[in-house]
Amino acid sequence: MTTREDAAREAAALSEQLHRHAHLYYVLDAPELPDAEYDKLFQRLQALEAEYPELRTADSPTQRVGGQVLDGFAKVRHRVPMLSIRTETDITPGGASAFDARVRKELGLPEDGPQVEYVCELKFDGLAMNLRYEHGVLVQAATRGDGEVGEDVTQNIRTVHEIPLRLNGHAPPVVEVRGEVYMKRADFDALNARQRERIAAGQKNEKVFVNPRNAAAGAVRQLDPAIAASRPLSFFAYGLGEVSAPAEGGPDCPTQFDWLQQFHAWGFPVASQTARARGAAELIAFHENIGRQRDALPYDIDGVVYKVDSLALQGQLGFVSREPRWAVAHKYPAQEQLTEVLAIEVQVGRTGKLTPVAKLAPVFVGGVTVTNATLHNEDEARRKDVRVGDTVIVRRAGDVIPEVVGVAPDSLARPETERGALFTMPRVCPVCGSDALREEGEVDYRCTGGLFCPAQRKEAILHFAARRALDIEGLGDKLVEQLVDAQLIRTLPDLYRLGFTTLAGLDRMADKSAANIVAALEKSKQTTLPRFLFGLGIRHVGESTAKDLAKHFGKLDAIMGATEAELLEVNDVGPVVATSLRTFFDQPHNREVVEQLRASGVTWEEGEPAARTPRPLAGKTFVITGTLPTLSRDEAKDKLEEAGAKVAGSVSKKTDCVVAGAEAGSKLDKAQALGVKVVDEAGMLAILADGWPEV
């Protein structure tokens, strides 16, 4: 039996180990212990604390999971005010020079005097936090609030793994470490993906966050710490609040850089880009260097911060109106801006994908003027509730296409009658008028006029000319681009009207090459039905489906005239492919292109339809499980497939029949749970002989 003393000793040792491994894992990114081992230690500590509740200390690693739901947050008066920082909006090198010049002037340094030493940091885009440690233990976390009074968010901050609950090494009686709580972009994207799933599942109170800052702020101000714990937050330390004097056990750090190293030694993350610099030239170099890295960082920054390194000089410089004279934020172009939606248009991509695009009042964002921003697809546009006339947040980071991240709250709050209509995707292609279709399970609508649609022209021609299709040698990317741009080709049949003179008249086209292309075009006319079918670029009709179709029907007209039911009889053709084929050939423009190609002399040898084997089980899905008495599984599968059935690997609501042999396991259980028909081998053979039993 464990005595209380044994338990206390064991809990302390476990706590020590867990702190160390959490730091290795979360801060240093260098885990030494497999997750499962960590979990074991954690669970053992939880068990001890359950038995002896007095062992459950505030800095116990088990306290990261979040405690009671709160009614509200208590107010905290900061012992040392949390100041803000002057922002240098001149984003050119001039911004850094101006700061250095001000500092030198205040310090009374002559023009030819020594350079001032600075620390250059990143300006993180999150929320400032004051973390109070007494004798090394985190006792309170408070938001900045108005700088004088903030809110006590200790419970939520305990769930942030990058924040030590207990300082490593020597700890002073009191120290307040300040820094930024933020959310990494990848964590933000994953959180929003989860939020979208919840909303899709009908959870009314969930929302999608506009940006990581907003998500981090929401998590910090969560009244339910369990929810806060499920929102992945991170932390960087960069400043100091109250601290015991060196004579009373506080560290002796004469510079900001020394403090940052002390924070790191205590177990806090400090950005690795942090650097010392001398004089304006090195500040400028830092600003430019980080500017180049900005888009590759895993989190958002909106600038860099320069701080006079020496605390003695900081003291000399002092403050003006709550802003220190010894620090400045030097910004980068904002990656998010507000602007108005003038219209919502639909663009058609090279492959026929329809994308809703917001036309915007011109706005300078991410370093360029933006007038268009993508809304991705119909669901996104509707979920974000973007309407014409709304003020929206536009984001452009790096070379990424600008996107609308959300509608400004003011616009969302307007009465429905004063807002434009909710976006709906047009059901015809805005470029060519063919039907636009959205397949089940897909988010995108696509134009079905592949052969005719000007938006898809280049892609369609390249596909038609590809080696595995009509194999028109020499007709590559560049040439197609040239021919389409010069309006020499609009649709595929135009290819066969190109003569030597036209081709030879193109820029950078030698007579010899022109002659080769004419010959290649002539040669391509004699083709095969599968190549021709594949070359049409019908969605979901790849080479092997094209072969199956050709074999089954023998003639192109038979394929073009087949009903969906008839198409479904073809080996490997399911409902998606059948619908795609039917829709394609239903577009008058597509049929016209096919006719014109035939008229231009494109020909192939047509065959006879394959002998019609009866396919009594077409459209039925079977699953085979366990060991059958006489047939191997492959033999059973072949027999079922010959009869037109599909044989799947797992049981679902869509399964029509499960064939169960000896030692059938979970698949049989699942079939029974779902009420799916179950037969044995003899039952299967009976179905094969007599057909599907209609009830």
Neighbours of 32 (CB within 10 A): 11
State yes or no: residue 238 binds ligand IVH (CB under 6 A).
yes
Match 């084997």 to its residue by tokens. 613
C-alpha–C-alpha distance, residues 184 and 194, integer Å:
15
CA distances from 122 to 288, 289, 293, 546, 580 (A): 12, 11, 11, 57, 52
CB-based contact 72:222 (threshold 8 Å): no
State yes or no: residue 98 binds ligand IVH (CB under 6 A).
no
From candidates 14, 76, 128, 678, binder to ligand IVH by CB under 6 A: 128
State yes or no: residue 305 binds ligand IVH (CB under 6 A).
yes
Q: Which is nearer to ligand IVH, 90 or 592 (CB)?
A: 90
Q: Which is nearer to ligand IVH, 181 or 483 (CB)?
A: 181
C-alpha–C-alpha distance, residues 121 and 459, integer Å:
48
From candidates 21, 64, 144, 287, binder to ligand IVH by CB under 6 A: 144
Q: Which is nearer to ligand IVH, 154 or 274 (CB)?
A: 274
* Angle at 644 (CA atoms; ends 641, 646), nearest 5 degrees: 60
State yes or no: residue 88 binds ligand IVH (CB under 6 A).
no
Q: Which is nearer to ligand IVH, 76 or 357 (CB)?
A: 76
Kindly state the smallest distance separating residue 324's Cβ from ligand IVH, in Å: 5
State yes or no: residue 83 binds ligand IVH (CB under 6 A).
yes
CB-based contact 573:546 (threshold 8 Å): no
Kindly state the smallest distance separating residue 125's Cβ from ligand IVH, in Å: 7
State yes or no: residue 38 binds ligand IVH (CB under 6 A).
no
State yes or no: residue 85 binds ligand IVH (CB under 6 A).
yes
Can 123 be counted among the known catalytic residues? yes
From candidates 123, 158, 294, 552, binder to ligand IVH by CB under 6 A: 123
From candidates 324, 454, 554, 619, binder to ligand IVH by CB under 6 A: 324
Kindly state the smallest distance separating residue 305's Cβ from ligand IVH, in Å: 4
Question: Per the structure block, which two tokens stand in for 642?
Answer: 């010959």
The interface region with ligand IVH, picked from 109-117, 123-131, 410-418, 677-685 by CB under 6 A, is: 123-131
The interface region with ligand IVH, picked from 116-124, 275-283, 361-369, 524-532 by CB under 6 A, is: 116-124
Question: Per the structure block, which two tokens stand in for 10?
Answer: 């064991």
State yes or no: residue 150 binds ligand IVH (CB under 6 A).
no
Pairing of strands 353-365, 445-447: antiparallel
Q: Which is nearer to ligand IVH, 239 or 269 (CB)?
A: 239
Kindly state the smallest distance separating residue 129's Cβ from ligand IVH, in Å: 8
* Of 608, 593, 496, 596, residue with least CA distance to 537: 593
DSSP string, 287-353: HHHHHHHGGGSSS-EEEEEEEESBHHHHHHH-EETTEETTEEEEE---SEEEEEEEEEEEEE-TTSE
CB-based contact 532:556 (threshold 8 Å): yes
State yes or no: residue 131 binds ligand IVH (CB under 6 A).
no
Q: Which is nearer to ligand IVH, 83 or 428 (CB)?
A: 83
Task: Name which of residues 500 to 519 contact ligand IVH (CB under 6 A).
Answer: none
State yes or no: residue 121 binds ligand IVH (CB under 6 A).
yes
DSSP 152: B
How much is the CA Rg of the chain, to the nearest whole Å? 35
Q: Which is nearer to ligand IVH, 260 or 645 (CB)?
A: 260
Match 């008058």 to its residue by tokens. 588
Q: Label residues 192-225 b or e (16+ Cβ within 10 Å = b).
A: beebeeeeeeeeeeeebbbbbbbbbbbbbebeeb
State yes or no: residue 180 binds ligand IVH (CB under 6 A).
yes
State yes or no: residue 529 binds ligand IVH (CB under 6 A).
no
Catalytic residue among 40, 75, 123, 353: 123
Half-sphere exposure of 107 (CA within 13 A, CB side): 23
From candidates 153, 174, 177, 327, binder to ligand IVH by CB under 6 A: 327
Q: Which residue is nearest to ligand IVH (CB)?
A: 128
Number of residues that bind ligand IVH (CB under 6 A): 14
The interface region with ligand IVH, picked from 103-111, 122-130, 440-448, 572-580 by CB under 6 A, is: 122-130
CB-based contact 61:17 (threshold 8 Å): no
Beta bridge partners of 392: 339, 407
Kindly state the smallest distance separating residue 273's Cβ from ligand IVH, in Å: 11
Q: Is 75 helix (H, G, I), strand (E, B) or coil?
A: strand
The gap between the terminal CA atoms of the chain, to the nearest Å, is 67
Q: Which is nearer to ligand IVH, 49 or 125 (CB)?
A: 125
What does the binding site for ligand IVH look like in residue numbers (CB under 6 A)? 83-85, 121, 123-124, 128, 144, 180, 238-239, 305, 324, 327
Catalytic residues: 123
